[in-house]
Structure 1
Amino acid sequence: MAGGQTIIIKKHDDDHHDDHHGGGWKVAYADFMTAMMAFFLLLWIIAATDEEKLEGLAEYFTPSLSPLQGGGSQGMLQGQLVELDGQMSASEGLPPQPDMPDFGAADPLAAFDSRMRDQPPEVVVEYLPAEDAPPSPEQIEAERMAQAAAELQARRVERDADLDRIEAEIEAKIAATPELAGISDNLRFDRTAEGLLMQILDEEERPMFDTGSARIVPHTQALIEIVGEALREMPQDLAISGHTDSLRFARQDGYGNWELSSDRANATRRALVAAGISPDRMARVSGLADTVPLYPDRPEAPQNRRIGVLLQYPEPSMTEPARP
């Protein structure tokens, strides 16, 4: 060149921002996306694989340490060190070895799926007391029947106690009345399904009424008053019936056993009302003549002439309501 001058050519980039738009970040981003895809693919494989295969996969990728065997174990000394007097073995005087990490002690996949945990964490479950289930229709019906049976038994016991008390009271008053001495056999008690039937019987030597009449004799009047006093406080109604024997009795005006039995029943009703029993409790007064004899095999017997006073106290049943 002319004059011996050296020509130096310098090139300058006009854009000073090209360093920020290089291609290196794309490579890093691609590596990150690849790693994320591999990670989510691993999660999907774990979720879609059964437990047995997962356990096999975990054992394959889990490193485990086996006991190290020194070299020369196959030689004459089988890996043992020879110690000379006054010399330390190679293992003595060395610092203690640090604890090796326990590889394989825990399942690395247990963090992803609780099904893979060999020893799941202890879970304390507290059970709240369960609410009692509502009774079934069968239980309700059984309880209702049991309650009804108990109430029925209680009513039967109450009825028996009332009737026992009435009988005892009447018998005690008869025994304490001098003019009634010796006629206790004229009163008969019978318990039926309808209640307590008290029958005042006629006797040959101790008639209840004058012959062929409805007039009550004195000892019968006293007996009816005792019966009325015993029944005065009872709430049940009374049914009175008159009976005769089979001997024909008829007056010229046609007055016979039907009329006589009815009049004697009505006379007894008046005597009971006079003894303190409310007339409203008289449910029935009837004359039955000789149709219901006390001794059917002896229809002419004097005992068939009688007055029946029925205390209507029926035997309790399951369908009967309790007495108020």
Structure 2
Amino acid sequence: MAGANAAPVIIKRKKVIQGGGHHGGAWKVAYADFVTAMMAFFMLMWLLNATTEKQRKGLADYFNPTIPMNRVSGGGDGAFGGDSVFSEQTMTQSGTGAANREPTEEAQARGDSAGGEASEQAQQAEIEKLLSARAGESMTMERALRHVVTRITDEGLVIEIFDLPDVALFEGDSDQPRQVLRDIAGLLADTLALTLNRIAVNGHVRSYPITLIDNPVWDLSAARAQRMRDLVETAGLPSARMQRIVGYADRKPVTPDPMAVRNNRLEVVLLRKDR
């Protein structure tokens, strides 16, 4: 038969592998992460522009909490195992300590009832509370306190008073105070009367163009610091509490632009007891 000699028909079946079937949506996840990051970035930029310096400090403190740590496992019912942070007596659990009559130089106790950093933070909170209470007395005080922020440094508690773009503390490039600074000085004299710390006053000014033949930054910063000292003493603060008056010229700007008016500022420092 003719059909018996016919060539066999061979059928080839190819297995087609669809590329990207498993990871084809990975770009969507990457794009979603990118959009989320951009949204977070723009929210950060908006917050920086829409909040005051004091509000930004509050946000920073919220994300950087101070948590008391206790190295002793004991039966105390408090965060410090039953010991007070202001305790100056030798504690059986806490190791070395100090009595009020025999202070030591150990890190845990110095014979000082101020309580170190905890005391500084408590003092800052109390002063901010007093200033806020006075701000509610009138619109004048409320406007004046827009110029004031507080912070804690190695020197002690710093009360910073600074120029605003629309309201300066002094008349032009002089040391003649405006009424807003007189109001702040009177308020500080009343508030600082509740403390015993010695006080330092630092003067800072913005940078001036280098083309000036006679750059006033040194004389002006020192004169403004002296003027602030005179204002708070006239308002009732004892002169014996003044430890030093310093003019820093334009050497310590607080903004990227050294010529910004925000660098025109005064610092009234409640010095630590070891300063």
> TM-score of the superposition, structure 1-length normalised?
0.48
- 1:167-316 equivalent positions in 2, closer than 5 A: 167-248=128-209, 254=214, 256-295=216-255, 297-313=256-272
In the other structure, the counterpart of 2:127 is: 166
CA distance in 1, matches of 2:188, 2:211: 31
Partner of 2:40: none
CA distance in 1, matches of 2:123, 2:272: 10
Residues 45-56 of structure 1 aligned to structure 2 (within 5 Å): none
Q: 1:248 to 1:286 in 2, by over 3 A?
A: farther
**TM-fit CA distance, 1:152:** 7.1
- Following superposition of structure 1 onto structure 2, how do residues 83-102 of structure 1 map, counting pairs within 5 Å? none
1:212 Cα deviation (Å)?
A: 1.1
Q: Deviations over 1:126-156 (max 9, x none)?
A: xxxxxxxxxxxxx999876145637779714
1:155 aligns with 2:115: yes
**How far apart are 1:224 and its partner, in Å?**
1.4
Q: Distance in 1 between matches of 2:211 and 2:184?
A: 28
Query: SS of 2:115's equivalent?
Result: helix
Partner Cα distance (1:286, 1:218) in 2: 23
Q: Give the secondary structure class of the aligned counterpart of 2:225.
A: helix
User: C-alpha root-mean-square deviation of aligned residues, in Å?
Assistant: 3.0
What aligned pairs does 1:81-120 form with structure 2 within 5 A after superposition?
none
Partner Cα distance (1:306, 1:195) in 2: 17
User: How far has the Cα of 1:286 moved from its partner?
Assistant: 1.1
The runs of 5 or more residues in structure 2 that have no matched partner are 1-89, 99-105
Cα distance, 1:274–1:250 mapped onto 2, change above 3 Å:
farther
Q: How many residues align?
A: 175
Verify the 8 A CA contact 1:239 1:310 in the aligned structure 2.
Answer: yes
Tell me the CA shift for residue 294 of structure 1. 1.2
Sort the Cα spacing of 1:182 and 1:140 in 2 relative to 1 into closer, same or farther, 3 A. Answer: closer
SS at 2:203 equivalent? strand
Question: Residue type of the partner of 1:275?
Answer: A
C-alpha distance in 2 between matches for 1:244 and 1:154:
33
Distance, in Å, in 2 between the alignment partners of 1:152 and 1:212 is 43
CA distance in 2, matches of 1:162, 1:250: 44
For residues 45-100 of structure 1, the C-alpha deviation after alignment (integer angstroms, 9 at most, x for no partner) is xxxxxxxxxxxxxxxxxxxxxxxxxxxxxxxxxxxxxxxxxxxxxxxxxxxxxxxx
CA–CA distance in structure 1, aligned partners of residues 175 and 121 of structure 2: 34
Flag structure 1 segments of 5+ consecutive residues without an equivalent: 1-138, 315-319
Letter in 2 for 1:213: S
Residue type of the alignment partner of 1:245? R
Change in Cα spacing, 1:207 to 1:187, as seen in structure 2 (3 Å) is same
Deviation at 1:216, TM superposition (A): 0.7
Q: 1:298 is aligned with what amino acid?
A: D
> What is the alpha-carbon distance in structure 2 between the residues aligned to residue 154 and residue 298 of structure 1?
38
In 2, Cα distance between equivalents of 1:307 and 1:143: 42
Residue 145 of structure 1 corresponds to which residue in structure 2? Answer: 96
Cα distance, 1:183 vs structure 2: 4.2
Separation (CA, whole Å) in 1 of partners of 2:232 and 2:252: 23
Contact 2:134 2:141 in 1 (8 A): no
State the structure with more CA Rg: 1
- 8 Å CA contact 1:174–1:223 kept in 2: the answer is no
Which residue identity is paired with 1:145? Answer: T
Q: Distance in 1 between matches of 2:208 and 2:196?
A: 38
Whether the 8 Å contact between 1:249 and 1:256 is mirrored in structure 2 is no
CA–CA distance in 1 between the matches of 2:169 and 2:91?
57
CA shift in 2, pair 1:154/1:283, >3 Å: closer
How much identity, in percent, do the aligned residues show? 23
Gap change, CA 1:238 and 1:154, over 3 Å in 2: closer
CA contact (8 A) 2:170 2:178 kept: yes
